Amino acid sequence: MIKFILKRLLELIPVLLISITIVFFMIRLAPGGPFTEEKSFSAEAIARLNEHYGLDKPILVQYGTYLGNLLKGDLGPSFQYPSRSVNEIIAETFPVSLELGALAMLFALIVGLLAGIVASLRPNTVQDHLPMGIAMTGICMPSFVLGPILILIFGLGLGWLNASGWETASDRILPVITLGSAYAAYISRLTRGSMLEVLPADYIRTARAKGLSEGKVIFKHALKNALLPVVSFLGPATAGIITGSFVVETIFNIPGMGRMFVLGAFNRDYTLILGLVVFFALLVVLFNAFVDILLGLLNPKLRMDS
């Protein structure tokens, strides 16, 4: 198991290096720069700013310098927020994005698992078609469509919830539903399919023959094996929730990392964009590694195959 874990962790290094390299050269080769839109600055002032931040050096030198600072844990200063470093911005915004992502994942798991279990108990009936039909709607409706619809109905129309912000507990409801709905739909369909395969198994019939309650049969025996596809899906689902937060945080004006990434892209803040990409990539690969390790614990055959 230790060898399995070390192998998964070592795979993080090339993934991070490739992500950093691609983004670094893409934003450097794009037209313009972080100070080209500053109308109040003279050409001489912009040249001095470029010299101060090392933007006048050859791109390969900039790349080497950035990797050297990154190994020290220094993500550099923000070009558009000169009084704050990228490390400070991430430290301020990460808790907000973490809360949003965790709540969205919790919502997706609870709603998806319950809907999938309910649908699997009576396949090809109304009890099956209704939750799966709603799930299909969740899959087909992207967050940039669902979010404004929820704001229009519950924020502006009924006035039950705020249309933007991240201050009270009620402010979490609409963003969490918007971000988690699509993944709840996928989880529900995965759970239904797995449960339909597990429920006819011999050990389930044996458990029922022993007189166990239906709840124990479903949640203690059947769900354990039915969860394997859902656990496998958690890796890409987490990546989707992280990238989906860009849209949701912008729609609902949430002060998280996703919104800062969008602002950094508009302002061509090289260091802020790169720092957030590094952090996002690290989160995704670490969680994918965690999911692989969890699957290895649940299914020893995966450890042997690796």
**pLDDT confidence of residue 127:** 82
Does 196 reside within a domain? Answer: yes
Please list, in sequence order, all residues whose beta carbon lies within 8 angstroms of the beta carbon of residue 257, skipping any fewer than 6 positions away.
90, 93, 94, 96, 97, 245, 249, 276, 279, 280
Tell me the pLDDT tens digit for each residue of 136-148. Answer: 877 788 888 888 8
Does 24 reside within a domain? Answer: no
Does 152 reside within a domain? Answer: yes
Does 263 reside within a domain? Answer: no
Q: How much of the chain is helix, strand and coil, in % rounded to 5?
A: 80, 0, 20
Which domain CATH number covers 111? 1.10.3720.10
Tell me the pLDDT tens digit for each residue of 243-271. Answer: 777 888 888 888 888 888 888 877 778 88
Q: Is the pLDDT of residue 74 over 60?
A: yes
Cα separation of 231 and 194, whole Å? 12
**pLDDT band at residue 296, thresholds of 50, 70 and 90?**
low
Does 261 reside within a domain? Answer: no
Does 306 reside within a domain? Answer: no
Pull the structure tokens for residue 79: 């070009």
| Residue range(s) defining the domain that contains residue 224 | 90-255
**pLDDT confidence of residue 227:** 78
**pLDDT band at residue 303, thresholds of 50, 70 and 90?**
low
**pLDDT confidence of residue 162:** 83
Tell me the pLDDT tens digit for each residue of 19-64. Answer: 888 888 887 777 666 666 555 566 677 677 777 777 778 888 888 8
How many domains, in total, are found in the chain? 1
Q: Which of these, 151, 162, 19, 172, lies nearest to 97 by C-alpha position? A: 172
Are 55 and 249 a contacting pair, CB within 8 Å? no
**pLDDT confidence of residue 32:** 65
Does 20 reside within a domain? Answer: no
**pLDDT confidence of residue 34:** 65
Does 140 reside within a domain? Answer: yes
